[in-house]
Structure formats: structure tokens, C-alpha cells
């Protein structure tokens, strides 16, 4: 009977120890170690915007297609811009002819200075100067017409993946208005949002393990940067330009979340990174550095 009681007591004690160890391990992992389940795959999104207006004559890519920098994406009707270029060429030629004639007249006036009055010579020189300015303006107009014609071909500004492409030939594009988006694949990264109590345990260059929701395998990276500031939602500038500060909670204070950028070093084979995916981020302790020495929540 005593033996049975001892076995039960020992089993109960062992279970309590295991439970305590698990509780401590969970406490350290989620309250002390710099980890977060609030992470995202992020990338820079380029808003592809035409510099000239016109009807679309051809679309060279489709939605979700990978493209290279400089690759033609679509073409805007070039007829109007070709005519403008021809007019610019004609205007420049006309001004050059007028300038050549003015130069000849000016040289003749100077050669016959003994027979031509000073006022005529001065008017000839003034005419040459004005026509030189006119030629420069015509040259600038020609360059602008060439630029506008070149801009009728919309090219990829970066390597990336086309997103939200619904345009078709016949659609009209307006200069300065976004046409579609391009996900900059070179800028893919992980953004981890850590509570501020864990930021002291994070250093630039620290190794990081990232796990995507529903995806097997670990993405390896390192801390590239830590945000320098976040929005203070408790500050509000009123009409009298005074700061309206919300009362402080004396006993309960919610920790702010600070964005930490994780540069990606290695992605498991077969894993596709999609901007917006949910991720868990764990900052690994440096070699020989105890976890308890890295961070405490107070």
C-alpha cells in the first residue's frame, strides 16, 4: 500500500515538474525571447503609370506574369505623337533656315560697314540672336516630341510580377493615372512586428528564422533594420494647434508593436513568397549568449 502511494506521489510530482518546465519554456519563448507571430511577407509595389495619354493599341503581358526591367508592357496609340514629332522637325528646319539667312545678311552688313549704317548692322545682329533662341526652343520642342513618342511604350521600371492587370486594347489611359501594379521581386522581405519590450533583445545583423503559415520549411534571414518611429495614435492636433493627449492607464499599459525588417538569406526549395503572406519570426540568440541576458519584459 505504501509503495502504491509512493508511486502515485512520485508520478504526480513528476507531472508537476514537467508542467512547470513547459510553462516556463512557453513563458520564455513568448514573453522573453524576441519572437512574434505577427509577421508578413512584404515587397515594394510599383504603381505603373503612363507619362502620356491615349488609346491602348497592344498589351504585351498578362496578369501575374514575371517581367524584366525595361521589358515592354503595353503600347499607347502613337499616331498623334508621330505627327507632333514631324511638326517639331519641320519647325526646327524652318528656324534653322531663317537663322542661316540672318547670318548671311549679318556678315554682308559687316563687310559693307562703310556703306551700311550702324542701326542696320545692330538690327541684323539682334535678329541673329533672336533666331538662335528660336532654334534652341525648336530643338527643345523636338526633344520633347521624341520623348513623348518613346513614352507611348510603357516599360517595366523594375524586375517584378505584374499584378491587377485588366487592361485590353482599346482602353484609354490618362497621363499620371495608375494603370496597374508591379510587385518588385528584388525587394521581397519579411516584416516582423515585435512588442516594444522585446526590441532591446534585437540587434542589426541577428539571424532570424521565419515560418510561413501553412508552408513547410524555414526561411533563414537576418535583421536588416528596426523602425525609427511609429504613429502615436494618442496625439491629436486640435483646431487651436494644441496637442490633445489621452489619459494614461495607471495599471495597464499596452505594449506598442515595432516593425523590424528581416532580409531574406535563404528560401527552401519550392517555397513561393507572396507579398502579404502571414509569417512567424524568431530572432536567434547570438553564439554563446544566454536567452535570459538578451531581454526581460520590464
The fold adopted by the segment(s) 34-43+186-287 is: Elongation Factor Tu (Ef-tu); domain 3 (2.40.30)
Residue tagged 498623334 (cell numbers): 80
Question: Is the pLDDT reported for residue 297 higher than 90?
Answer: no
For residue 50, give the nearest of 185, 157, 162 by alpha carbon.
157
- Would you say 282 and 291 are in contact if contact means Cβ atoms under 8 Å apart? no
- Would you say 259 and 38 are in contact if contact means Cβ atoms under 8 Å apart? no
Question: Is the pLDDT reported for residue 294 higher than 70?
Answer: no
Cα–Cα separations (whole angstroms), residue 104 to 91, 101, 121: 20, 5, 12
Mean per-residue pLDDT, 58-62: 95
Ordered by start, the domain boundaries in the chain are 34-43+186-287, 78-151
Q: Which of 78-92, 217-231, 238-252, 270-284 bottoms out in mean pLDDT, i.e. has the lowest?
A: 238-252
More confident residue, 296 or 249: 249
Pairing label, strands 219-226, 189-195: unpaired
Identify the pLDDT of residue 12: 79
- When the pLDDT of each residue in the chain is averaged and rounded to a whole number, the result is 85
User: What architecture is the 78-151 domain classified under in CATH?
Assistant: Orthogonal Bundle (1.10)
Question: Is the pLDDT reported for residue 241 higher than 70?
Answer: no
Identify the pLDDT of residue 28: 59
Confidence of residue 255 (pLDDT cuts 50, 70, 90): confident
Amino acid at each position: 500500500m505504501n509503495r502504491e502511494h509512493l508511486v502515485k506521489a512520485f508520478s504526480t510530482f513528476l507531472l508537476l515538474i514537467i508542467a512547470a518546465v513547459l510553462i516556463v519554456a512557453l513563458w520564455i519563448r513568448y514573453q522573453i525571447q524576441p519572437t512574434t507571430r505577427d509577421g508578413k511577407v512584404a515587397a515594394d509595389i510599383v504603381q505603373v503609370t503612363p507619362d502620356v495619354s491615349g488609346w491602348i493599341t497592344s498589351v504585351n503581358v498578362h496578369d501575374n506574369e514575371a517581367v524584366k526591367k525595361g521589358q515592354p508592357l503595353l503600347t499607347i496609340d502613337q499616331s498623334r505623337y508621330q505627327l507632333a514629332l514631324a511638326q517639331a522637325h519641320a519647325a526646327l528646319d524652318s528656324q534653322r533656315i531663317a537663322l542661316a539667312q540672318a547670318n548671311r545678311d549679318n556678315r554682308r552688313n559687316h563687310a559693307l560697314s562703310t556703306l551700311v549704317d550702324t542701326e542696320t548692322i545692330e538690327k541684323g545682329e539682334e535678329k541673329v540672336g533672336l533666331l538662335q533662341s528660336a532654334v534652341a526652343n525648336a530643338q527643345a520642342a523636338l526633344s520633347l516630341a521624341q520623348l513623348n513618342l518613346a513614352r507611348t511604350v510603357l516599360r517595366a521600371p523594375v524586375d517584378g510580377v505584374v499584378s491587377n492587370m485588366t487592361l485590353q486594347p482599346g482602353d484609354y489611359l490618362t497621363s499620371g493615372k495608375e494603370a496597374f501594379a508591379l510587385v518588385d521581386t528584388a525587394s521581397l522581405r519579411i516584416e516582423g512586428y515585435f512588442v516594444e519590450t522585446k526590441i532591446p533583445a534585437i540587434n542589426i545583423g541577428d539571424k532570424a528564422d521565419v515560418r510561413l503559415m501553412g508552408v513547410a520549411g524555414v526561411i533563414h534571414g537576418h535583421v536588416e533594420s528596426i523602425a525609427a518611429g511609429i504613429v502615436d495614435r494618442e496625439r491629436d492636433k486640435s483646431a487651436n494647434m494644441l496637442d490633445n493627449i489621452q489619459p494614461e492607464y495607471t495599471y495597464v499599459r499596452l505594449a506598442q508593436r515595432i516593425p523590424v525588417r528581416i532580409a531574406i538569406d535563404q528560401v527552401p526549395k519550392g517555397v513561393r513568397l507572396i507579398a502579404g503572406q502571414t509569417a512567424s519570426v524568431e530572432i536567434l540568440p547570438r553564439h554563446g549568449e544566454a536567452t535570459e541576458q538578451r531581454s526581460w519584459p520590464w
